[in-house]
Amino acid sequence: MRASLLPVVMLFVYLILSGCTPGDHINIYSSRHYDTDLDLYNKFTEETGIRVNLIEGGSDELIERIKNEGVNSPADVIITVDAGRLWRAKEADVLQPIQSDILSERIPPELQDPEGYWFGLSQRTRGIIYNKDRVDPSDLQGYWELGDEKWNGRICVRSSNNIYNQSLVASLIESYGEEETEEWATKLVGNFARSPQGGDTDQIRAVAAGQCDIALANHYYLARLINSNSQSDRDVAANVSIYFPPAEYGGTHVNVSGAGIALNSPNRDFAIQFLEYLTEAESQDFFTSGNYEFPVVGNAPIPEVLDLFGEYESDAINVSAYGNNNPLAIRLMDRVGWR
């Protein structure tokens, strides 16, 4: 048996053993790993009778898997994080465009692919974390201002191979153009307190410890520390705060967790029904609470911890630009020495 067919055969065997027959299930390939997502899938099954079979993995791993499975792929829905990764799935030709009045009406246009290949389901902001004892928040403005010499030796950030930073730079290219963004990035790199290292939580810890005064991090990493069972994590969170750039300084960079329908989905109608279900207010509560993300639907509740952060003003850039500009962003970051 060809190795590329093994995953398909194994999944179909699983479906048979679990009692699923064609037409009463969907197969979700997801790079999200939260218990609340599982609770939501179970609730969807209870309300619709449609079973959910979950395959988890990294975003790139799942995209490659679907490509290898080809026309026989059982994948119905692909769920991943960051618009840049959703763009990769589209470019890899593993998604199909769909039309849904429900999705188009409920999800803001800037949080979905203009051609209907994928839809944002939750929002994640890239905020500016600052040390409350060392930084006056009135001194903070937007991302552009982080290139100012007053921040020399005071900024922590993770490496340029991180998709979150790539998407931020891609959004700035969309707003200001490649040349101006490269000038900004050159100044930003000159303000680094240390070589880029670690993840977003590491940047927050470094700010709390005084290794730098400000850092870039997605908001939910701070929310996790605030709600951690570890006292040391909560102590870190108590030493920092988060700043969302207002509209007058360009607005706050917003990204998404999102999903699309697989190119060869064998249960396409059920898959679309599932995506529409995820945009109901109650479903959004489940979907966002697992990772303390903001909902995409206006009437949906937000996780309680996010009330501490206050409201933010989005930069209103269509998140599809993060993927379109991703190759430019990567080359730009390499040129300026953002390692």
Helix axes 35-48, 281-289, angle to 10 degrees: 150
Structure tokens at 122: 């939750």
pLDDT at 307 over 90: yes
pLDDT at 292 over 90: yes
Q: Do domains 3-123+254-303 and 125-253+316-335 have the same CATH topology?
A: yes
**Residue 10 CB contacts under 8 Å (≥ 6 apart), including other chains:** none
Average pLDDT over residues 117-124: 97
Torsion of CA 59, 313, 217, 243, to 10 degrees: -170
Each domain of the chain, given as residue ranges in start order, spans 3-123+254-303, 125-253+316-335
Choice among 15-29, 99-113, 221-235 with the minimum mean pLDDT: 15-29
Structure tokens at 333: 């970051």
Q: Which CATH code of 3.40.190.10, 3.30.565.10, 3.40.50.2000, 3.90.105.10 fits the domain covering 125-253+316-335?
A: 3.40.190.10
Residues paired with residue 13 on neighbouring β-strands, in sequence order: none
pTM of the full structure: 0.88
pLDDT at 23: 52
Burial class (CB in 10 A: 0-12, 13-18, 19+), 118: buried
Average pLDDT over residues 225-237: 98
Tell me which CATH code domain 3-123+254-303 carries. 3.40.190.10
